[in-house]
Amino acid sequence: MIERRTEEQQPPGFAARFFQDVYLLVLIIIKFAGDNSTKEKTRMKSFKTTGKCLPDRHYMVNIDRQVDAAVSLIDRGEYFCINRGRQFGKTTTLAAMKSVLEKKGYTVFSLSFEGIGDSPFASLETLLYTSLNLMQACVDFNEVENLSEEAAEALKPYLRT
């Protein structure tokens, strides 16, 4: 719990130390911001609290080991589950895996069931129908790498036209 103190209750030198710390923080931020005279400005990293993190833009833990382990499972045809609480990097890990898999020649459909309600989960049939429609949207918006003509043709009977 944070207590609010009056000026008389503050420890001696509190204001001076506080503003010295703030000044030091400002100097550190300015130092990390880089020299403004350079042609290409360096973007400062920030903390991201929602959605996907990008290593060149956000502070994050290196997840290469976890991504490599998951890709290895996929290469062997094995299954796995990523289940963690909020803010554990699930979206970031999946995005990194997608990038690695596409570079290896895999076709990856990135589907989100967020915000679509409960009706798609009423039965296996409705879940598959919804999934196929989301896959079609990925194709429509050109979000799928490495989709061969043969695979696209094989999907056509199942996707909406």
145-156 pLDDT, tens digit each: 988 888 887 777
**Helical ranges in 34-143 per DSSP H:** 64-75, 90-103, 124-140
**Which of 72, 91, 106 is at the close of a domain?**
106
Tell me what pLDDT residue 52 has.
80
Residue 116 lies in a domain: yes
- Regarding whether 49 and 82 lie in a shared domain, the answer is yes
Model confidence at 17, in pLDDT bands (50, 70, 90)?
Answer: very low
For 105, the token pair is 């020649």
**Which of 62, 85, 106 is at the close of a domain?**
106
Residue 25 lies in a domain: no
- Regarding whether 98 and 140 lie in a shared domain, the answer is no
35-74 tens-digit pLDDT = 455 545 567 888 887 778 888 888 888 889 999 999 999 9
Domain count, the chain: 2
- Regarding whether 112 and 92 lie in a shared domain, the answer is no
Which domain, by its residues, includes 70? 43-106
101-132 tens-digit pLDDT = 999 999 999 898 888 899 999 999 999 989 98
Interatomic CA distance for residues 158 and 161, integer angstroms: 9
pTM given for the model: 0.63
Residue 13 lies in a domain: no
- Regarding whether 98 and 58 lie in a shared domain, the answer is yes
- Regarding whether 148 and 96 lie in a shared domain, the answer is no
Residue 12 lies in a domain: no
Query: 89 and 63 in contact (C-beta within 8 Å)?
Result: yes
Residue 6 lies in a domain: no
Residue 11 lies in a domain: no
- Regarding whether 122 and 73 lie in a shared domain, the answer is no
Coil/strand/helix, residue 17: helix
